[in-house]
Amino acid sequence: MSCCNCLSIFFSIIAFAAIALKIYVKLTTKWNNSYTTLVGKTAIITGANIGIGYYTALDFAKRGARVILACRNRDRAEDALRRIIKATNNKNVTYKLVDLKSLQSVRDFVADINKNEERVDILVNNAGVMLDNDDYTKDGIQTVLHVNHISPFLLTHLLIDKLKKSAPSRIVNVSSLAAKNAALSIKTVDKMNSIPKDFLNFEMYNNSKLCNILFTTELAKRLAETGVTVNVLHPGLIASNFLSNAQGFMKNVFPFIVKWFFLTSEEGAQTQIYLSVSNDVANVTGGLFDKCKQVDIYETAQDADLAVKVWEKSEEYAKLNDNEKIAYL
């Protein structure tokens, strides 16, 4: 066989495999099954100016909700707001600024909500970062941990009375498959705020995403019978997430591959839309979801003692007052 022949056979096989994989990804993408209207409801989505947060906000706006885009950057928030209003003609969409790297900013944001909003029916803790240039925030919390876990923890606590008053209401937390590989354990929990040696290997990211799941299960226990449900999800491998964190070779050559195989942001938003609006899950709480289906909680996140320990640590980092803490009923 000539060399040319070998090569063409080789490339045909690669092309065939690529197309097969692409078809597999498209066929296994699950779309929300819900036509529920959200007229009369108010939803808050963090990180709503881009990616899956944006498509979640867009979906809620289409359903007639009052939508509050919780974003850090004014220009980007205004741009997203303009696009959502243009696409949906829902003028009841607004943005409020919040910096998840600051405890005070979260407190100011909630003070504004409590003063000016009658209700909060849906809270989507969507925003997150994989890496950050700063090691610690001004509050002395490791930045990735602060943005991905401590700030949503504080935000959820401060909004809990509003959510209870608006019940049935829903809290949806965005975690990640990375939680499966998290190293955080009862032995290391006291050091959860120290920068790991292997920082570039996403240990802090993995741990923060594990915290999202631990908190969801623990919070579900503490919110039993309140009419507030809380679930957590893994959105899938989304192109935009990877590309925004890529550098060098990854940024130049990788995008083509990533865009071809990974989910679009709209596809990636489906599970959080499903959890926020579908009737199927109206009474489901404390669950982990993937592709609009409940899955088993990862082994790393099954330790109830770890959940309690991390909860207590987080109360310290978030500097919660005693009357702001969520106790068991």
- Catalytically annotated residues: 205
Binding of ligand NAG at residue 32 (CB under 6 A)?
yes
Q: Who contacts 34 (Cβ-Cβ below 8 Å, separation ≥6)?
A: 273, 274, 277, 278, 279, 280
**271 Cβ neighbours under 8 A, 6+ residues apart:** 30, 32, 233, 234, 235, 236, 289, 290, 291, 292
Interface with ligand NAG, residue 44, by CB under 6 A: no
Q: Residues 54, 55, 289, 298: which binds ligand NAG (CB under 6 A)? A: 55
Q: What beta strand segments (E) does the chain contain?
A: 42-46, 66-71, 93-97, 122-125, 169-174, 228-234, 288-290, 293-295
Is there binding between residue 315 and ligand NAG (CB under 6 A)? no
Task: Find the part of the chain contacting ligand NAG (CB under 6 A) among 3-11, 37-45, 257-265, 288-296.
Answer: 37-45
Q: How far apart are the first and last CA of the chain?
A: 75
Taking CB positions, which residue lies at the least distance from ligand NAG?
A: 153
Three-state DSSP class for 155?
helix
- Binding to ligand NAG, residues 81-120 (CB under 6 A): 92
- CA–CA distance, 319 with 324 (Å, rounded to integer): 10
Using CB under 6 A as the binding rule, whether residue 142 contacts ligand NAG is answered as no
Which range in 128-136, 150-158, 236-244, 246-254 contacts ligand NAG by CB under 6 A? 150-158
d(CA 5, CA 257): 25
Residue 231, SS3 per DSSP = strand
If binding is defined by CB under 6 A, does position 42 make contact with ligand NAG?
Answer: yes
Burial of 108 (0-12, 13-18, 19+ CB in 10 A): middle
When the beta carbons of 3 and 129 are compared against ligand NAG, the nearer one is 129
Site string for ligand NAG, 224-253 (x = CB under 6 A): ------x-----------------------
Q: Which residue ranges make up the site for ligand NAG (CB under 6 A)?
A: 31-35, 40-42, 55, 59, 66, 92, 125, 149, 152-153, 156, 171, 173, 177-178, 181, 183, 198, 201-203, 206, 211-212, 215-216, 219, 230, 266, 269, 273, 279, 282-283
